[in-house]
Amino acid sequence: MPRQNLTSDTAPLAVVRAVERLGQNIARARIRRGLRQVDLAKKTGLALGTLKRIEEGSPTTGLSAYFTVLWALGLEQEFDNLAAPERDEEGKTLELARQPQRVRLKKGLDADF
């Protein structure tokens, strides 16, 4: 199956909106800190064009670039909340449904040491 590049046209609308919102949040955090785009790009080691695409919410920009900018802005504590297993209510429910209802003991001794 050929690889499909994710664009604003091919990504689910919820994903596009979430990435755009993240870009806006990053831009606002940068501005609050009084940083120019060029300063933040230098601090992260990213190209200025990459930083501009991040702030525009481009779905084609690498996830590591987004994480690097968040780290540079001091917002890395948010990483732990992304897809945290303890917050995955649907996954916990499905996992619980697959658990055996009772455990049966084996009859006799197992000679496999």
- CA 50 vs. chain centroid, Å, equals 18
Rounded to whole angstroms, the Cα distance separating 31 from 103 reads 58
pTM of the model: 0.76
pLDDT score of 3 more than 60: no
- Region 62-69: mean pLDDT is 96
- Pick the closest to residue 58 from 14, 11, 5, 8 (CA basis): 8
Residue 113 pLDDT level (bands cut at 50, 70, 90)? low
pLDDT score of 94 more than 90: yes
Q: What is the pLDDT of residues 16-58, one digit of tens each?
A: 999 999 999 999 999 999 999 999 999 999 999 999 999 999 9
Rounded to whole angstroms, the Cα distance separating 22 from 7 reads 16
Q: Is 103 helix (H, G, I), strand (E, B) or coil?
A: coil
**CATH number for the segment(s) 13-97:** 1.10.260.40
What is the domain partition of the chain in residue ranges?
13-97
